[in-house]
Copies of this chain bind each other. A is one copy, B any other.
């Protein structure tokens, strides 16, 4: 009669209801993206047999869709950082990442990440991930050249630069164009395929976990070829099934802030099933309200010389921050319109290279004319630009603390772009909440007691990166690959259940 009972990730199967084990392995991994692949390699290298179950017909996950920058540094600097002339202190990296993660920061996890980041770089190089010893100077969302290093966050911007020495930490794969993700997953997949201890089952959906009488996880139920099969995992199950950005209902319920976005970033499997499976056996899901939500306003880098205002003509953010931080602050305004004000030269740059999709809301031969055209209250935009231009001339942004290198008076004629959420501008988003884990990847319940036999990594877990306002490119793939490795190692060393 089991076919009449709907198998759901929210309800674990009991061991006593298992008629037979259709597969047996030491470690079972759900999902073959960056986290799952790295977990498998480490578990196999520690002597375990591994099966990866992947719902798609190929490896990749969201990592393959990303630029696959990897956020690394500290301990004096990676090989690439050093070659490019940067010295990176671990404490600066810790401070930056703690500020980024906000009050919900997991300091233990962040310290572990930063202190072992150098080692993570070396491990990646060892498995064959190539990084060129060259620095990409230009401000961009991703690196379209094959340069190995770039600034990918708000390190050089207020308030971060005032508390942590800035250093570029975005490591970009040695490949032209935005092709880091596919290359990265190709390398990881080759590493997986090379290891006899790992087998991969594609087009296989993980349905639910299997628990014994003490609620320890001892396996999982999968569906392949339209059959439900029971998998025994002697050492444990590692959930690397991505986040929940593709599950509209979950996003609405848990991360309402993301309702303002218009383009979910992730693969179709990011439906939150990994997180729900973890919750079903008592795992705590934390930080579920947070996500990356961005207005990707650069390139062109010259946009950074423009200003962003609300419908009171107020600036509210230093425009040299990471684009996700600008997105987060736009959402905090009680304002019916948000504008990006540019000179015509900056607008020419924008027209040439931007993919932000914002439309022109107004133009003006003078500030006053633009103010009128935008329907802003008389005198307000004039005052904002007067103050801003004076500050530019003095080389100090007294109001929003944009760094001096970006300060250049706004001389009419001016153009205003409408970047109000919901009015056409590209607003990509993804989730940053997931299962609470120890730095080892072991899933814990709300009282931080372990759920025996269960591990999580990547976006199924809640990792080092926790806020829209503090996100930097490379933190997610950095966290996924690093946390995947730790979970793989930890599971492999567990005594068989």
Chain A: residues with CB nearer than 8 A to chain B?
8-11, 14, 102-104, 159, 213, 215, 250, 252-254, 256-257, 259, 272, 275-276, 279-280, 282, 284-290, 312, 314-317, 329, 332-334, 377, 379-380, 383, 387, 398-400, 436, 445-447, 449
Contacts and interface: CB of A to CB of B under 8 A. Distances in A.
User: How many copies make up the complex?
Assistant: 2
Contacts of A275: 446
29 contacts: A8-B447, A8-B449, A9-B447, A10-B446, A11-B215, A11-B449, A14-B213, A102-B256, A103-B257, A104-B252, A159-B334, A250-B446, A253-B284, A253-B286, A276-B446, A276-B447, A279-B282, A279-B445, A280-B282, A287-B289, A312-B314, A312-B315, A312-B399, A314-B316, A316-B333, A329-B334, A377-B399, A380-B387, A383-B383
Contacts of A334: 159, 316-317, 329, 400
A319 to B, nearest CB: 12
A275 B285 CA distance: 13
B253 A436 contact: yes
Point out which of A254, A272, A317 has the most chain B C-beta atoms below 10 A from its C-beta: A254
A279 B275 CA distance: 13
B377 A286 contact: no
B256 A103 contact: yes
A285 B445 CA distance: 13
A138 to B, nearest CB: 26
A383 B329 CA distance: 24
A334 B383 CA distance: 20
Nearest to A254: B286
Query: What are the 4 tightest A-B residue pairs by CB atom distance, in nearest-first order?
Result: A289-B289, A332-B332, A103-B256, A104-B256
Given A8-B447, A103-B252, A284 B289 contact: no
Nearest to A469: B334
B445 A11 contact: yes
A445 B261 CA distance: 26
Contact of A379 (B102, B279, B387): B387
Contacts of A332: 332-333
Contacts of A8: 447, 449
